[in-house]
Structure 1
């Protein structure tokens, strides 16, 4: 467990966190509750963002950690870090919608980058973002990530990733060197 300014506590998720984390992730990206924040995907994807099995798989993976962020004992954010050789993959990033836009995301991603360097010696952070999410990509660019133009198709037809509301969705790879 690691505490940083703003009264945030960072710790690795445990099995008992699964339900709270699924609720958090869904609230940040899907349905009406997600519209309270700015990271919503409600206009481009319906259905689920994740499920208990997916969250548990991340928690139990030996090369992954699901960083859980608490304030006053309440889970308010999370992100996944996965060790992939010289780089770490960043994903499953969610901040409670009512707390978005207050600077928490900057603190959390900086801590994730620090942990990737300290834990695995990662020299680069990578992530994929739906390319249509221009505002979100711009936020990552302000944090030092760069667009690569490398695209992978959205898994249309696999409801575990949501129900697309339009054609042409794809993921773009973003990268950041970690000093």
Structure 2
């Protein structure tokens, strides 16, 4: 019998000072058995950092052809493709072909090696933005994660401030400059 996804709920009090976005969002996410807690949390962070009213979580890891999060127009065309992890260059190129804008939030112990291997292949993709999620920040967040989370998230001047009721975390949101 296949393992079932675990449901996580998050209340996000979001303040994006740079963009003038102030909202509270109630999120319900399914965490696939093969998905790590790091990946789930980075999906939530990506949603917060790019929040728009029409941004939606997709089936994500369960469906290989869709991004983790997207924003589509009325005709179903992808306006913004958001994905997390360390994708293949082909996956990033596909995102840039299919979407008006593609944003990837990269994390993991092999991130620097990944950038060395693939960074040069991605320099010509004008619709692409890559951001780094710091390992120490993510580790602290994983340690306090639960199936029901309540976060206060503030973004301003390239810095993310996150409070989860047990700790206050700060991390830069670093745009990766490709060679």
How high is the TM-score relative to the length of structure 1? 0.35
Which has more helix, going by share of residues? 1
TM-score with structure 2 setting the length: 0.35
